[in-house]
Amino acid sequence: MIKYFPIESPAPWSDADRADLLSFDWQRQTAAFATSDDDRILEVSFLGWGVIVRMLDEFPLSTESDPKDWFGLVPDHFAYRVEGDPFLESQSEIWRSVESSPKHYRFQTGSGCLDVISSGKPTFALVRR
C-alpha cells in the first residue's frame, strides 16, 4: 500500500491540475511550479547535498502500482510525503543509509509529477515572475 500524507504549501492555486512544473535547478535543488493565469511562481527547495529526482506524467505513474492500493490522496492537492512507493525502495540501501533515512516527496500537477527523495524537508517560497 502506498500512503500519501498531504503537505500544506503556499501554492497560489486551489486546483493542482492547473499547475505545471516549469523547471528544476540542480545547483539550487529547487523546482519551480506555476499556472498560466498567475504572476507568481512557487519554488520548492530541498536543503542537503543529495537528492534523487524523477519527473514523469500520470500514465507511467499509474502503471507502476495499482491505484487501488493508494491511500490518502486528496483531490486537487499538490504536495505529499509518500510512504511505501517503489521509487524510494529501489534506491541503493547504501545511499539511503548515508543519507540518514531520506524521505520521498511527490508534487502532482495536471501535466505530471515530480518525485524527490531527500533527507531534507521541502521548503516553499512564492516569488514574482
Q: What is the pLDDT of residues 36-86, one digit of tens each?
A: 888 999 999 998 767 899 998 765 565 566 777 889 999 899 999 999 988
Q: Give the Cβ contact number of residue 102 at 10 Å.
A: 22
d(CA 114, CA 92): 20
| Domains in the chain, number | 1
Which triple of cell numbers denotes residue 66?
495499482
Q: Does the global pTM surpass 0.75? A: yes
Tell me what the mean pLDDT of segment 5-11 comes to. Answer: 95
pLDDT of residue 78: 94
d(CA 80, CA 57): 16
Q: For 43, left (φ over 0), alpha (ψ -120 to 50), or beta?
A: beta
Which triple of cell numbers denotes residue 28?
539550487
User: What residues make up the domain containing 36?
Assistant: 2-128
pLDDT of residue 83: 96
